[in-house]
Copies of this chain bind each other. A is one copy, B any other.
């Protein structure tokens, strides 16, 4: 492993620890115990925490106080976690395992899993609305971004398109539309939210937007590759579950080699966006290249 890669891995681990240590602190005290257990179970089930890490990395670079950036980072992970709980439900992907652990509904039952997802989603907005030291106009912009990027014209749209195209032959454009919404929007959200917090210029905003879209696609393609040939121990998911679900993926459409090429193409495009907008956030550049080689 290259030295630079080791430094990035340490940095990602450092940020992941910060997120992990703070995730459960934002659950409201008055919530009933079983619900809290179910929410905590999925929040604590691991994961790379890539979304909150992206937000924290950019905000730290621009000296945004942690008492502002951290709650927002947590709220994004709440929304991501809710989406996983609902996606795993029998009526949706019907997955028994995620990250090597039983899915929420396998432990707490379907009803509680639905409610835990609803709870995480709903409370995410309260977490952001409660940040006293954040300028109220920025707060509203961030809440709108969070809602729009995870809502019916964002992440949920991606989920619907994905369902509707199961078992169908899809074009590259359709595949990109699905992933730009399903995975891409919630990877883009922390970057755009950071842009609001850091008062980015229009040029910088365009740069980070372009980077974010490329990051999302790189992430999704490597996810498809991992699903196809990764090992259960490394990803925690049953291998080939996409194939079993009859889902169009970059691998089933293009084959493994072309999919790898595409991931590299988007990673290099992403770096270029950063460079052109003169955004100096070294870790962002490293992350997108690191993703291409990820094993889990």
The interface of chain A, by Cβ under 8 A from chain B, is 27-32, 34-36, 39, 82, 86, 89, 91-92, 109-112, 114-115, 117-119, 121-123, 125-126, 129-130, 136-137, 139-141, 143-144, 146-148, 150-153, 156-157, 159-161, 163-164
A35 near B123: Cβ-Cβ < 8 Å: no
Q: Across the interface, which residues of B come within 8 angstroms of A82, CB to CB?
A: 118
- Which B residues lie within 8 Å of A119 (CB)? 151-152, 156
**Contact call A111/B35, Cβ cutoff below 8 A:** no
**Distance in angstroms between the alpha carbons of A122 and B161 in the assembled complex:** 18
Measured in the bound complex, the distance between the Cα atoms of B126 and A5 in whole Å is 39
Mind listing 9 A-B residue pairs with CB under 8 Å? A28-B148, A35-B152, A86-B118, A89-B114, A118-B118, A125-B125, A125-B143, A126-B148, A130-B144
Contact between chains at A30 and B156 (CB < 8 Å): no
Query: Which chain B residues border A39 with CB–CB below 8 Å?
Result: 152
Docked-complex contact B160 and A147, CB < 8 angstroms: no
| A114: B residues at CB distance < 8 A | 86, 89, 91-92, 114
Which of B36, B111, B123, B152 is A123 in contact with, Cβ under 8 Å?
B152
Q: A147–B86 Cα gap in the complex (Å)?
A: 19
Identical copies in the complex: 2
B28 touches A156 (CB 8 A): no
- Shortest Cβ distance from A79 into B: residue: B122
What chain B residues lie within 8 Å of A27 (beta carbons)?
152
When distances are taken between beta carbons in the complex, the residues of chain B under 8 Å from A117 are 118
- Bound state CA distance, A161 and B30, in angstroms? 12
Minimum Cβ distance to chain B for residue A210 (Å): 20
Q: How far is the CA of A109 from the CA of B90 in the complex (A)?
A: 12
8 further A-B pairs in the complex, CB-CB below 8 A; given A30-B152, A31-B152, A118-B118? A27-B152, A30-B153, A35-B157, A114-B114, A122-B147, A122-B150, A126-B147, A129-B147
Given contacts A91-B109, A111-B92, contact A129 B144 (CB under 8 A): yes
CA distance A126 to B144 in the complex (A): 5
Whether A123 pairs with B140 at a CB distance below 8 angstroms is no
The interface residues of chain B lying within 8 Å CB-to-CB of A28 are 148, 151-153
